[in-house]
Amino acid sequence: MQTDRRNLLKSMAAVSAGVVFPVAMSGCRVADYGPATPVELISWVVIEPNNTVRIRIPQSDIGQGVITTLSQVLAEEMDLDWSLVRPEFFDPLTNLKRGNVYVYTCTESSWSADRLFDPMRMAGAQIRQMMLIAASRRSGIAIEDLRTENSGVVFPGGARHSYAELALLASHTTPPEPAKVKLKAAADYRLIGKPVKRLDLKQKTNGTLQYGIDVDLPSMLYAAVRQSPVYGGKLVSWDETAIAKMPGVVKVVRIAGGSSGLNGPIADGGEDYGMDDAVAVVADSFWRARKALLALPIEWDEGPFANASSEAIMADLTRRVGQTQPVVREAGDYAAAIGRAAQVLEADYSYPFMDAMPLEPINCTAWLRPEGLQVWASTQFAQDAHRLAAVTAGLPPERVQFNLPYTGGAFGRRCQNEYVSQGVQIAKAIPGRPIKLIWTREEMMARGYPPPITVSRFKAGLDENGKVIAWFNRVVSGTAPDQSYGPARLPHYVPNLQIEYARIKTPQPFGWMRGVAFTQHVWMNQGFQDELAVAAGRDRVDLYMELLDETTVPADLKDRGVAVNRIRNMRDALNRVTKIAGWGERLPRGRGRGISVNDFSYWVTYRTGTAAAVVDVTLDGKGALRVDRVFVVLNCGRILNPEVVRGQVEGSIFWAITTALYGKITLKDGRVVERNFQDHNVARLATACRNIHIELVQSDEHPAGVGEDAVPIVMTAMLNAIFDAGGPRIRSLPLSDHDLSFV
Amino acid sequence: MKVNLKINGALTTVEVDDDTPLLWVLRDTLKMKGTKYGCGIGQCGACTVIADFQATRSCSLAASAAVGLDITTIEGLSRDADQFVQKAWQDLRVPQCGYCQSGMIMAVTALLSKSSDPTDDEIDREITNICRCGTYERIRAAIHAAANNRI
């Protein structure tokens, strides 16, 4: 079976069809909200006396806008007045106690909409039904004669009860069976699919939004941390006397390395995803803590990776890609077919270590008191942060409260919660005082969780007509879970095909990064396909369309219909993007176009959107590259909020540009060479593309992810465009390592 | 040492080490959290404030060097998020995670105070702040909209 990041979540009970919600509880946690009587209904909402409704969002808002879009979903079915909606982040402890009532609480895989569309519609519809029952009981009027509208129940004569007035009575009704609840027809949607403005827009423009790093508590202390500069190193000693007289220093704390949560004991492959030993200096201000840490002599045992380098690892991968590796997909007789090919092409592609670099530095605030532990941290996986905090503190989960604030970017980096363990370890050393741990940018870059360094070898055969009759691909990558979907989940059914995949252990623990393995492999696969098209003298779209042929899908393939659908969706996206981009237009030398199409189909039945891109670039002949125009078509199923989706596509475009231009983390002497943004540039306004065209395909299918789909295709189209413009064939990244001048 | 600062029109005295960057004085001493820490070396611009009409990376300005400057932070732009740049940011739905946007809005406010209708090239040159979510084209559009609305 395919292994992927979903499998890491098996510890969270999966709740599928037929969600049953626990019995309503009224007035839960009233003490937290003042003397009035807010009423909680089936865990998902709290109705305030003034008729505002707090909606629990079981995801982190990392910029993708779930706080708004998921509110739209529940508010739609509950018939809420949008101006009265007040979303809030879920409480992991409540979710734990109530048996994963929030269904899906890890923010990854672009899964928020996919996983929560049904449960949150159902919750809204159930609560709406409970309101109708309550109104009927109170008035004696049959439910059939009542209707709901704008956060209230309307009676036949036009009189109405607000939800607030009915909430307490509703809380004593039994939630209706999901099977008996009728959801709205899409034609009746007032909120789902509408471009409502984000609910946090104002706070995001006046500086009042609370991110993890903004948590402030009375008599709080600050901690700066230094981890082993070499991955896998161990702490030997430090000399505290050197900083004893520095102002404000309270304590130096030893932090033990070990398992770090999501990538801990439940990761596949038995790999060590642990964090390393660290030293934290705690002081009365962050500036003082950081200064003292810089002055603290620390001795490390640098361990087995003391001499590791990207260069040596790349050489090792290149050697291994010359050896036979395990076959993950095969068809026909590749060896025979390549032997009779009219034309044979070979190429090696490679991909370096990278870093997601979210802008809000890693941080965690923890406060251990006799009554229990409180933790705050920006994270993509609050549920696991809660678990890890409890394990680290040695407390039962009920005595740990994890508070999820807003997250200033994540892009995969915050799936790992090792900093939560660090924060709690520091809090344990200084009980009674809240401590806020902040990593410097330098610490973040020194201790990233990269996607795997990879070498991919291709060999393909074309017949006399330029048709691909044989396809070989062997991939060897660094530390990662099984990402064989990258090379092997091609939508094509080339008659003779052999794909091999292997991994070696590399120093850094693995990390997810926006676009995941598709970013590497879509580019590599379609970069090589672009080479084939050039060699065959064919238009790329012509070659892609020939490869995307549903009649080539084997008749006995399991889930054949899904495979056929994939091909149809890709052909449709390709057709649409060629139309909006005017594919076929001749560009003068120095300008070039690339095209790419992809979905995020990790495995056969994985629900995914489909996206295609055309990118135009200009090479000035002296080495400079400009991205002139980007065209993206995205079919993501039902669109929850078109403006939010557009924003995600725009963001993906710049993510792709940064990855192509600058994406590289270099290991030397076991250490990361790049220290801060001065060594690792990212796209800025001057590098941004000013000409973006996005077409969102209207669809009634189940909503699919939108946060990552455009990353691989935009990068692929951009890199292929460089060759089309007369530049070099790009087979390694980043572009800043290439000479883009041409004669 | 005691440092006298003028922030958002008000005089305030703080007791900090003289090398403490203005960023940390704002955030940790004065509890004004709208100004963000991103890189600490003046690269990303998340900490941008306006000092004497100039966009300034507050992570790279010692508090002691800020004495005598007229400093405006994101908290000082408006009471109700309705300053003209903020409004343009809302109209064009710029923010995603939002973390960089305080710094962006301060940098743009400073730019528009000296150049009322900047060209795209001028924008590229002047606004070097980093947004990892990639809101750049909305930022550009919002700058033009803010400039137009004010004229």
What CATH number is associated with residue B117? 1.10.150.120
Q: Are B151 and B116 in contact (CB under 8 A)?
A: yes
CB pairs under 8 A between A and B: 177
pLDDT tens digits, one per residue of A513-542: 999 999 999 999 999 999 999 999 999 999
Strands A221-227 and A435-438: parallel
User: What is the total count of domains within chain B?
Assistant: 2
pLDDT of residue A534: 97
Q: Residue A257's pLDDT is what?
A: 85
In terms of Cβ atoms closer than 10 Å to its own Cβ (0-12, 13-18, 19+), residue B33 is buried
Q: Which of B76, B110, B137 is the last residue of a domain?
A: B76
Put simply, the answer to whether A683 touches B43 (Cβ < 8 Å) is: no
- Chain B residues touching A214 at Cβ < 8 A: 33
CA nearest neighbour of A489 among A516, A527, A521: A521
State both tokens at A729.
């064939």
Tokens of A677: 């943004």
The residue from B46, B76, B106 where one domain ends is B76
Q: Are residues B22 and B72 in the same domain?
A: yes
CA B35 vs CA A39, A451, A662, A689, B48: distances in Å: 37, 31, 27, 28, 7
Contacts of A683 in chain B (CB under 8 A): 134, 136
Interchain contact A686–B (C-beta under 8 A) = yes
List the single residue in B with minimal CA-CA distance to A285: B28
HEC profile of A7-31: HHHCCCCCCCCCCCCCCCCCCCCHH
Q: Residue A359: which of B86, B120, B132 has the nearest Cβ?
A: B132
The pLDDT score that the predictor gives to residue A26 is 36
Q: Over 70: is that where the pLDDT of A5 sits?
A: no
Q: Which residue of B has its CA nearest to A362?
A: B38
The closest alpha carbon to A506, from A381, A354, A356, belongs to A354
SS3 assignment, position B104? helix
Cβ pair B99:A359 closer than 8 A: yes
pLDDT bin (cut points 50, 70, 90) of residue A734 is very high
Nearest-angstrom CA–CA distance, A137 and A118? 28
How many whole angstroms separate alpha carbon A67 and alpha carbon A84? 14
According to DSSP, the residues that pair with B54 across neighbouring strands are B51
Is there a single domain that holds both residue B50 and residue B91? Answer: no
What pLDDT sits at residue A585? Answer: 83
Bridge partners of A56? A88
pLDDT (0 to 100) of residue B151: 58
| Residues A674, A666 contacting (CB under 8 angstroms) | yes
When CB atoms are compared, the residue of A285, A410, A683 closest to B24 is A285
Number of other CB atoms surrounding residue B115 within 10 Å: 13
pLDDT band at A180 (very low <50, low <70, confident <90, very high): very high
In degrees rounded to 5, what are phi and psi of residue A373?
-115, 135
Does A440 contact B at CB distance below 8 Å?
A: yes
Which of A64, A441, A653 is nearest residue B39 as measured by Cβ atoms?
A441
Interface-testing mutation among B99, B128, B130, with chain A (most A C-beta atoms within 10 A): B99
CA distance A553 to chain B (A): 38
Asked whether residue B132 falls in the same domain as residue B69, the answer is: no
- Touching check for A63 and chain B: CB below 8 Å? yes
> Are B122 and B68 part of one and the same domain?
no
Residue of A nearest to B63 (CA): A287
User: Quick one: what percent of chain A has pLDDT higher than 70?
Assistant: 93
Helix, strand, or coil (residue B134) = coil
- % of chain A with per-residue pLDDT over 90: 87
Q: Within this chain, do residues B64 and B121 fall inside the same structural domain, yes or no? A: no
Classify A700 as helix, strand or coil.
Answer: coil
What domains, with CATH codes, occur in chain A? 5-188 (3.30.365.10), 212-304+356-446 (3.30.365.10), 515-743 (3.30.365.10)
Residue A179 DSSP class: G
Q: Are A192 and A125 in contact (CB under 8 A)?
A: no
A218 in reach of chain B (CB within 8 A)? no
Give me the pLDDT at residue A36, please.
Answer: 59
Q: Which is nearest to B59 in space by CA: B40, B36, B45, B38? A: B40
Which is it for the CA torsion A534, A538, A544, A548, positive or negative?
Answer: negative
Q: With contact defined as beta carbons under 8 Å apart, do A723 and A729 qualify?
A: yes
CA-closest candidate to residue A709, choices A572, A599, A577, A580: A599
Is residue A626 within 8 angstroms of chain B, CB to CB? Answer: no
Looking at the fold, whether B94 and B33 belong to one and the same domain comes out as: no
Mean pLDDT for the stretch of residues A35-41: 80
Same domain as B38, residue B7 = yes
B99 to A207: CB separation less than 8 angstroms, yes or no: no
Q: Could you report the per-residue pLDDT of A634-676, keeping only the tens digit for each?
A: 999 999 999 999 999 999 999 999 999 999 999 999 999 999 9
For residue A75, pLDDT over 80 is answered with: yes
Q: Kindly state whether residues B16 and B67 are assigned to the same domain.
A: yes
Q: Are A569 and A597 in contact (CB under 8 A)?
A: no
Taking only the tens place, the pLDDT of each residue in A318-366 is: 999 999 999 999 999 999 999 999 999 999 999 999 999 999 999 999 9
Q: If pLDDT is split at 50, 70 and 90, which confidence band does A260 have?
A: low
What single DSSP character describes residue A248? T
- Encoding tokens for residue A499? 């794909």
Predicted confidence (pLDDT) at residue A203 exceeds the cutoff of 80: yes
Angstrom distances, CA of residue A264 to CA of A261, A388, A500, A511, B70:
5, 10, 27, 12, 50
**Which one, of A361, A400, A373, A369, lies nearest residue A384 by Cα?**
A400
Query: Given this model, what pLDDT does residue A743 score?
Result: 60
**Is A647 touching B (CB cutoff 8 A)?**
yes
| Res. A61: pLDDT tops 70 | yes
Residue A155, H or E segment:
none
A394 to chain B, minimum CA–CA distance in Å?
31
Cα–Cα distances (Å) from A456 to A56, A193, A603, A722, B21, in that order, read 44, 41, 20, 20, 47
Query: What distance in Å separates the CA atoms of residue A146 and residue A151, rounded to the nearest whole number?
Result: 13
Residues B45 and B95 both lie in one domain? no
* pLDDT tens-place values along chain B, 151 residues long: 999 999 999 999 999 999 999 999 999 999 999 999 999 999 999 999 999 999 999 999 999 999 999 999 999 999 999 999 999 999 999 999 999 999 999 999 999 999 999 999 999 999 999 999 999 999 999 999 999 988 5
In a shared domain, residues B72 and B88: no
Q: Does A201 touch chain B (CB under 8 A)?
A: yes
Of the candidates B45, B76, B107, which is a domain's last residue? B76
CATH number at residue B54: 3.10.20.30
Q: Cβ of B97 and A406 within 8 Å?
A: yes
Per-residue confidence (pLDDT) for residue A259, from 0 to 100 = 65
Measured between CB atoms, does A62 come within 8 Å of chain B? yes
| Same domain, yes or no: B14 and B34 | yes
Which of B31, B81, B136 has its CB closest to that of A205? B81
**Taking CB atoms and an 8 Å limit, are B133 and A209 in contact across chains?**
no
Domain boundaries, position B98: 84-150
A441 neighbors A677 (Cβ within 8 angstroms): yes
Confidence at A91, pLDDT banded by 50, 70, 90: very high
Q: Looking at the structure, tell me whether residues B18 and B41 fall in a common domain.
A: yes
A284 touches chain B (CB under 8 A): no
Helix (H) or strand (E) holding A118: helix A112-139
Stretch among A82-96, A479-493, B105-119 having the lowest mean pLDDT: A479-493
| Torsion angles phi and psi, residue A530, rounded to 5 | -65, -40
Beta strands in A400-453 (DSSP E): 400-403, 435-438
Give A32→chain B minimum CA distance, Å. 24
Sequence-distant (≥ 6) Cβ neighbours of residue A658 within 8 angstroms: A682, A683
State the pLDDT at residue A605.
77
Say whether A676 and B39 touch across the interface (CB within 8 A). Answer: yes
pLDDT (0 to 100) of residue B95: 98
Find, in chain A, the residue whose alpha carbon is nearest to that of B129: A684
